[in-house]
Amino acid sequence: MGSLFFHMQANTFLIGTILGDGHVQKTQSKTQKCRLRIAHSLDQRDYVDWKYSQVKNLCTSSPKYDEKKQSYQFYTDYSLDLQFYHDLFYEKTQTSYRKVIRPELKDYLVDPISLAVWYCDDGSKRSDCDACRIATHNFNLEEIKILQEILKSNFEIPSHIVKAGRSKKGNNQWYVLSLSARDGGFHEFRKLVLPYVELTIPSMMYKLELKKTP
């Protein structure tokens, strides 16, 4: 499968899952080939199996449970098709690579399907009201501001950046994106992603359930 076709057909899923819990790993060889690793808890087996169905043409083995890591996971094969996504989401550090958010993500995070996968990975619905949060702990404040701007400009979804404790290592401030009920952020977001989650990832519908009124 040619790289251009692959980007056009698969970017909605890949953008969402790499923005969330997915990891693109680059080989240390000169080939620059990359692979995608997907790992979740065994409770989310159905979700992992669905993710596998989206990229199984790049895989030679199906998802398996890793008892040592206590995760249900799979890897794609190393491929040049994934180099584009590694270049978009990662920057090199002294010892490895760090996932980052760049302004050009605005050109690729354009489809509600990407939002749905990102939320299923990193989102959590509040139980006390119709609002949610999306974990962005691994990104710095400036990167989270980029995500906030993308939500507003590409999807007309308002959001708020909220402090969420500090890291144990380095005592760095963590932040999350909050979509509230008061300004309609959560309801607008839910309206966009609900049809896709309901149809294709029903096991994750609990993240979109509205608060039950007494």
pLDDT tens sequence across 65-88 = 999 999 999 999 999 989 999 999
Residue 213 has pLDDT above 80, yes or no: no
Q: Which residues contact 205 (CB under 8 A, 6 or more apart)?
A: 197, 198
168-205: b or e for each residue (b if 16 or more CB lie within 10 Å)? eeeeeebbbbbbbeeeebbbebbebbeebbeeebeebe
**C-alpha triplet 57, 36, 52: angle, nearest 5°:** 45
Residue 10 has pLDDT above 50, yes or no: no
Q: So what's the pLDDT on residue 29?
A: 77
Read off the pLDDT of residues 196-209 as tens digits, 9 standing for 90 and up: 999 999 999 999 99
pTM of the predicted model over 0.85 = yes
pLDDT category of residue 167 using cuts at 50, 70 and 90:
confident
pLDDT category of residue 1 using cuts at 50, 70 and 90:
very low
Question: Which secondary-structure segment (H or E) carries 97?
Answer: strand 97-99
Alpha-carbon radius of gyration of the chain: 17
Output the average pLDDT for the chain.
Answer: 91
Residue 178 has pLDDT above 90, yes or no: yes
What percent of the chain stands above pLDDT 90? 80
Fill in the amino acid letter for 191.
Answer: K
Residue 47 has pLDDT above 70, yes or no: yes
Q: So what's the pLDDT on residue 9?
A: 43
Read off the pLDDT of residues 17-46 as tens digits, 9 standing for 90 and up: 999 999 999 988 788 899 999 999 999 999
Domains belonging to the chain, first-starting first, are 3-100 (3.10.28.10), 107-208 (3.10.28.10)
**Average of pLDDT values for 162-168?**
87
What percent of the chain stands above pLDDT 70? 94
What is the three-class DSSP state of 167? coil
